[in-house]
Structure 1
Amino acid sequence: MAAADTISKLKSEVAALSQISENEKNGFINLVSRYLSGTEATHVDWSKIQTPTEEVVVPYDTLAPTPEDPAETKKLLDKLVVLKLNGGLGTTMGCTGPKSVIEVRNGLTFLDLIVIQIETLNNKYGCNVPLLLMNSFNTHDDTFKIVERYTKSNVQIHTFNQSQYPRLVVEDNSPLPSKGQTGKDGWYPPGHGDVFPSLSNSGKLDMLLSQGKEYVFVSNSDNLGAVVDLKILNHLVQKKNEYCMEVTPKTLADVKGGTLISYEGRTQLLEIAQVPDQHVNEFKSIEKFKIFNTNNLWVNLNAIKRLVQADALKMEIIPNPKEVDGIKVMQLETAAGAAIRFFDNAIGINVPRSRFLPVKATSDLLLVQSDLYTVEDGFVIRNPARKNPANPSVELGPEFKKVGNFLSRFKSIPSIIELDSLKVSGDVWFGAGIVLKGKVTITAKPGVKLEIPDKAVLENKDINGPEDL
């Protein structure tokens, strides 16, 4: 079937889906049409890639200091909105519900910390920075209930949903819900690139513009380092940058992360999926591509309105194959970082690594719950006693994967200020007040419960049984 016939058939099938809005139907048809037409270049021309200059990727330490006058700071902050991407569930860490309500530290969740941070700013400067949460249909109901907790806080909280698109059946390019799969499995949220049209479709964009807001700071709700930075905001306002991506130096753990390049006169995000096979190793090298995208983005609200109205945000499509009840389906997604090339005067800022502290697994949770960090006014602050600028590498076995299991296996989180690496596998349990230093590997033999006693100090140890303690 020709692409035009497929699209025409898809249009009539999508028109019959009552669960989604006209905007969602149109957005979905647009995305599939672009995907099926195959006219979009997926790979970049490697010879045209240029390393961005310091005008394009600005070093953080060259930013001007923020105004000393609190009244000037208030003026700056009154232009700002904070938006957290809150569509993800905590399923990989064994939790039900939005990932943002996992407890991070001192009984506080990601969302608690975010609200406390913004409240601290609003109280200190007498400004009104609102918080927006972009939910998905997976997290909407739970988040709605949780937000009621903050009615007495000095932060206006707005929620809106990102689009809900039908999964596409690979065999005949028809929407899965029209084949009778009308439950949650029939649908998907189309990636965080959807933040721009959804902000507009929800009416929130016009509401913010009418309040005199100019910039939105977008980040993942699980990145504890993504806090409001006045120096960055001040720079963007002064230089009239429509878009800014925070990037940070790559380590070997980040080799798959997208990077910024200069390409045909524009600043562009280069993702591993766009790299021709013969250049993948070069892309992963930290010598040539030294920075990666943290997904902390600062974007001008008027520019979003202009580009959404012109339907100009055609980010690279990321096909994500899945299977539902034995049926092969396709999810077409886009990424917010890829929008950088459509904005005028777009830049990157090369920020300190402290602004990238995502909690993707319980091994990350171990770091943020340990003595490596303290929490002040909702801000997670790194302990200056740690001399090594990099965090320890932590690998925990499957017994620790779920948050509940992870927490039950530690009487208290060990001290890891002087730890380089920790590898734990098998049925291992930690007592209270343990100190880990250097390189530590703990392996319980199959069927054996290995308990690390209270107050043990393990330095450069390889432990395979109680006899090694």
Structure 2
Amino acid sequence: MATATLNPTDADKITKLKSAVSGLNQISENEKTGFINLVSRYLSGEAEHVDWSKIKTPTDEIVVPYDSLKPTPEDPAETKALLDKLVVLKLNGGLGTTMGCTGPKSVIEVRNGLTFLDLIVIQIESLNSKYGCNVPLLLMNSFNTHDDTQKIVEKYSKSNIEIHTFNQSQYPRLVVEDFSPLPCKGQTGKDGWYPPGHGDVFPGLKNSGKLDALLGQGKEYVFVANSDNLGAIVDLKILKHLVENKNEYCMEVTPKTLADVKGGTLISYEGKVQLLEIAQVPDEHVNEFKSIEKFKIFNTNNLWVNLKAIKRLVEADALKMEIIPNPKEVDGVKVLQLETAAGAAIKFFDKAIGINVPRSRFLPVKATSDLLLVQSDLYTLADGFVVRNPARTNPANPTVELGPEFKKVSNFLSRFKSIPSIIELDSLKVTGDVWFGAGITLKVSNLSFLLFPCFFLVSLFDIWIPFMAVQMLVTNLGII
């Protein structure tokens, strides 16, 4: 691949940056090289500009309808042979800080006292036991989650699955003022560094030695998904389709709702399938991009990728994914971190496709409002799989918006004596100091609590609301 072309000023920046980075002993030579290459590409202005007139809607051959996939094999031996080609990789680099937790997000309790990681392990244990196969689990950690995860996985030492961990790269944050690494400014703690996005999964697999080890075991495909997506489970129909059609890359997409308008979508562009992110969209077309009429699908970040293809492309340094600049501030210093996303790699793989999957395969838990949904009677739990309750007739989940009092998991849990029944709920908005009692059923089309500072309590069907001169709006209320 051609190297980035830089003007003299930017070339001087890179020369100074190389010198500074060479003295950072906390990271490997591979990480230093990867970082310098990423910064060089960024300075070269290599970002791809999308010609809006060339965008075409993908055909069913490119974005395959899930219902058109062949059924799963009936022969257990055939199923075992398929599964023995597979590796499950969960992106485990995120902390639960958004939800008030300090460790890896994957150890937040989701349901019945089980964490995300517990559920993932139970699911794979179940597959291995049922079919006598060997599906290993890989966890891609960041330097933020590595130590805690190493301790946590010890409790699975007697399980029937191999669990492997590796770290994504650790890059220094860039000081915007002079383009120097933040650790060279005396910020030697974790705040001086960042993990460069999940696009780093491909070089991370190769640099860690895990990729060659897996190929040596006869593994062919890796299923990559966020650890907090409870819908991202192994699907034999998808795996069978990819093996039979020799597709090197598959992105699961699902129908877009108004809640997903900013999510990336698949397009046909100059004869290839490509991920289109909102950051690439010209300003005059942003509203068109957000439309659920023209762009009807979005990326779930459930990815299936051929391992040999990853090795080929990483060794050729061919995975030039779009760079996502992410400005931050650390102790008053403006810094920049450059990131990439794994979905953007789709255009580099041969016979890459999307599969338009049911919404049930996208069940992320990003906030406590999502936690309320998965802990409620909307779902049941079987063999580690979170399954939708058939009693819910509406195909869409209720929209739930909880106020800042519910943001942290500990506060969320303390405000519910038990999680309400919400099978027949359409939407719920809670603002203010609200506490829910036990045994509550919410069955309503629109329910809002709008509250202001207070001096005394009233009870409404065991929902406790402090208020004085409270304005409480309940529309179409139906509480049992």
TM-score, normalization: structure 2? 0.94
Residue of structure 2 equivalent to 1:34: 41
* Alpha-carbon distance in structure 2 between the residues aligned to 1:254 and 1:451: 36
* Alpha-carbon distance in structure 1 between the residues aligned to 2:441 and 2:298: 33
**Deviation of 1:52 (Å):** 0.3
**Deviation of 1:451 (Å):** 4.5
The alignment partner of 2:254 has SS state of strand
Q: Is the 8 A contact 1:432 1:455 kept in 2?
A: no
Q: Deviations over 1:125-177 (max 9, x none)?
A: 00000000000000000000000010011111000000000001111111111
Matched, 1:80 2:86: yes
Residue of structure 1 equivalent to 2:255: 249
Q: Deviations over 1:381-426 (max 9, x none)?
A: 0000000000000000000000000000000000000000001011
* Alpha-carbon distance in structure 1 between the residues aligned to 2:78 and 2:282: 48
**Deviation of 1:445 (Å):** 2.8
Match of 1:56 among 41, 58, 62: 62
* Alpha-carbon distance in structure 2 between the residues aligned to 1:276 and 1:183: 38
* Alpha-carbon distance in structure 2 between the residues aligned to 1:157 and 1:19: 26
* Alpha-carbon distance in structure 2 between the residues aligned to 1:192 and 1:372: 30
* Alpha-carbon distance in structure 1 between the residues aligned to 2:458 and 2:171: 48
Q: Is the 8 A contact 1:245 1:295 kept in 2?
A: yes
* Alpha-carbon distance in structure 2 between the residues aligned to 1:19 and 1:26: 14
* Alpha-carbon distance in structure 1 between the residues aligned to 2:295 and 2:415: 39
Q: Is the 8 A contact 1:428 1:450 kept in 2?
A: no
Residue of structure 2 equivalent to 1:301: 307
Q: Is the 8 A contact 2:47 2:323 kept in 1?
A: no
Q: How do 1:94-243 residues align onto structure 2 when only pairs under 5 Å count? A: 94-243=100-249
Q: Is the 8 A contact 1:444 1:450 kept in 2?
A: no
Match of 1:271 among 274, 277, 281: 277
Q: Is the 8 A contact 2:215 2:308 kept in 1?
A: yes
Residue of structure 2 equivalent to 1:364: 370
**Structure 1: which amino acid aligns with 2:9?**
A
Q: Is the 8 A contact 1:431 1:451 kept in 2?
A: no
**Structure 2: which amino acid aligns with 1:230?**
L
Moved over 3 A (4+): 448-456, 461-464
The alignment partner of 1:193 has SS state of helix
* Alpha-carbon distance in structure 1 between the residues aligned to 2:458 and 2:375: 22
Residue of structure 2 equivalent to 1:376: 382
Residue of structure 2 equivalent to 1:14: 21
Match of 2:404 among 376, 398, 406: 398
**Deviation of 1:463 (Å):** 4.4
Q: Is the 8 A contact 1:430 1:452 kept in 2?
A: no
* Alpha-carbon distance in structure 1 between the residues aligned to 2:154 and 2:323: 36
Residue of structure 2 equivalent to 1:445: 452
**Deviation of 1:452 (Å):** 4.5
**Deviation of 1:462 (Å):** 3.6
Residue of structure 2 equivalent to 1:350: 356
Give the root-mean-square deviation of aligned CA atoms. 1.5
**Deviation of 1:47 (Å):** 0.6
Q: Deviations over 1:53-109 (max 9, x none)?
A: 000000000000111000000000000000000000000000110000000000000
The alignment partner of 1:424 has SS state of strand
**Deviation of 1:453 (Å):** 3.7
* Alpha-carbon distance in structure 2 between the residues aligned to 1:93 and 1:455: 23
* Alpha-carbon distance in structure 2 between the residues aligned to 1:404 and 1:447: 23
**Deviation of 1:3 (Å):** 1.3
* Alpha-carbon distance in structure 1 between the residues aligned to 2:131 and 2:452: 57
**Structure 1: which amino acid aligns with 2:385?**
F
From the superposition, tell whether residues 102 and 451 of structure 1 become closer, same or farther in structure 2 (CA, over 3 Å): farther
Q: Is the 8 A contact 1:433 1:455 kept in 2?
A: no
From the superposition, tell whether residues 463 and 39 of structure 1 become closer, same or farther in structure 2 (CA, over 3 Å): closer
Residue of structure 1 equivalent to 2:3: none
From the superposition, tell whether residues 83 and 452 of structure 1 become closer, same or farther in structure 2 (CA, over 3 Å): farther
Residue of structure 2 equivalent to 1:433: 439
**Deviation of 1:450 (Å):** 5.5
* Alpha-carbon distance in structure 1 between the residues aligned to 2:53 and 2:344: 20
* Alpha-carbon distance in structure 2 between the residues aligned to 1:31 and 1:182: 22
The alignment partner of 1:294 has SS state of strand
* Alpha-carbon distance in structure 1 between the residues aligned to 2:462 and 2:432: 19
* Alpha-carbon distance in structure 2 between the residues aligned to 1:39 and 1:193: 17
How many residues align? The count is 461
Q: Is the 8 A contact 2:303 2:343 kept in 1?
A: yes
Q: Is the 8 A contact 2:266 2:298 kept in 1?
A: yes
* Alpha-carbon distance in structure 2 between the residues aligned to 1:291 and 1:62: 17
* Alpha-carbon distance in structure 2 between the residues aligned to 1:403 and 1:329: 30
Q: Is the 8 A contact 2:318 2:348 kept in 1?
A: yes
**Deviation of 1:178 (Å):** 1.0
Tell me the percent identity.
Answer: 83
Could you list the runs of 5+ residues in structure 2 that have no partner in the other structure? 1-7, 465-471
Residue of structure 1 equivalent to 2:5: none
**Structure 2: which amino acid aligns with 1:11?**
K
**Deviation of 1:447 (Å):** 2.4
Matched, 1:324 2:324: no
**Structure 2: which amino acid aligns with 1:220?**
N
Q: Deviations over 1:284-336 (max 9, x none)?
A: 00000000000000000000000000000000000000011111110000000
Q: Is the 8 A contact 1:430 1:451 kept in 2?
A: no
* Alpha-carbon distance in structure 2 between the residues aligned to 1:425 and 1:322: 29
The alignment partner of 2:169 has SS state of coil
Q: Is the 8 A contact 2:434 2:463 kept in 1?
A: no
Residue of structure 2 equivalent to 1:415: 421
The alignment partner of 2:244 has SS state of helix
Could you list the runs of 5+ residues in structure 1 that have no partner in the other structure? none
The alignment partner of 2:442 has SS state of strand
Q: Is the 8 A contact 1:435 1:455 kept in 2?
A: no
Q: Is the 8 A contact 1:242 1:344 kept in 2?
A: yes
Bigger Cα displacement from structure 2, 223-232 vs 173-182? 173-182
